[in-house]
Amino acid sequence: MHIPGLHHVTAIASDPQRNLDFHTGVLGLRLVKRTVNFDDPGSYHFYFGDAAGSPGTILTFFSWPHARRGSRGSGGTEAPAFAIPSTSLDYWTARLKTHHVNIEPPIERFEETVLRFSDPDGMLFELVASPGATPGNAWAGGPVPTEHAIRGFHGITLLPESIEPTARLLSETFGYHQTGASGNRTRFTATGSTTPGAIVDLVEPASSIAPERSGAGIVHHVAFRVPDEDHQLAIREQLVRLRFAVSPVMDRTYFRSIYFREAGGILFEIATDGPGFTADESLEELGNHLRLPTWLETSRARIGAILPALQSPPRKAT
């Protein structure tokens, strides 16, 4: 019942148009689903990913206009990391500078070069120039040429309140194994996985660091993938035996989900690979129209009147 890696990462944004423009127009991700927060249908929920919204490539945002900015800290997430081809670092450095994105000098980590930058809400991201970045299913209809396109997640860095219980969960329940350590950073990799997002880095926070404060620019939860509902239920049984408070299975239309807060303070989700984002629209039409779950269709007019109007994301490669 090993978990092969990340399914998606969900964060909080403020201005929905600015969020859409940055992640499609600057990062070149495809908007694969334009929907609403199922628990707060007066706000957008955007899903960005590769050409098909494959598990392991999906970055999602709850967009709450005028949300105050949060702050990273213990019990939270430091940065999701995207994989890019090892030859694309210069391209991305130039592209981010052209778009006036705040970037940090490149650093070396576990024999890979990492470029760190922030989005308009101050959310920290990393681009990892990785020899192992697979061609994947890069989005050819966006503004980034496919030879330089983001290849999905490389992994994610977490800041648990204490790394020991989180490390034990990853190794004993999720089936990860330790593959590196440097300073206060310990790397875990999904056993035998060749899928995007197979890496989780745990960083022991300094004693002086404050707890994470939720808000714009902060990761809301981290979702790991399982192939189907049988695997999900088996993992759920293990988690319940370990005395985690696990949610019932929830229907998210494009996958089934369970949620729990791990001992280091971070909200985890276990999501199924299917049904996928073509459950309610064709591959060609992904992201072009507002999609609602069946139980909200009767409220479409009211919801549409509340949501801010959006301009379509850019499509032409430059």
pLDDT, one tens digit per residue, over 23-48 is 999 999 999 999 999 999 999 999 99
At 314 the pLDDT is: 55
At 317 the pLDDT is: 43
Q: Calculate what percentage of the chain has a pLDDT beyond 90.
A: 91
Cis peptide before 135 (omega within 30 of 0): no
pLDDT tens profile 89-130: 999 999 999 999 999 999 999 999 999 999 999 999 999 998
Q: Identify the CA nearest to 200 among candidates 3, 55, 5.
A: 5
Tokens of 69: 């900015």
Band (pLDDT 50/70/90 cuts) for residue 318 is very low
Question: Could you give the CA distance from residue 78 to residue 160 in angstroms, rounded to a whole number?
Answer: 10
At 313 the pLDDT is: 65
Q: Identify the CA nearest to 60 among candidates 205, 255, 201.
A: 255
Instruction: Indicate whether 157 pLDDT > 50.
Output: yes
Q: What is the DSSP letter of 270?
A: E
At 132 the pLDDT is: 76
Torsion of CA 163, 167, 169, 173, to 10 degrees: 180
Helix, strand and coil percent figures for the chain, each rounded to 5 = 20, 35, 45
pTM of the model: 0.96
Tell me the average pLDDT across 46-71: 97
Tell me the average pLDDT across 163-186: 97
User: All domains of the chain, ordered by start, with CATH?
Assistant: 6-306 (3.10.180.10)
Tell me the average pLDDT across 74-87: 96
How far from the centroid of its chain's Cα atoms is residue 132's Cα? Answer: 19
Which residue type sits at 170? L
Instruction: Indicate whether 246 pLDDT > 90.
Output: yes
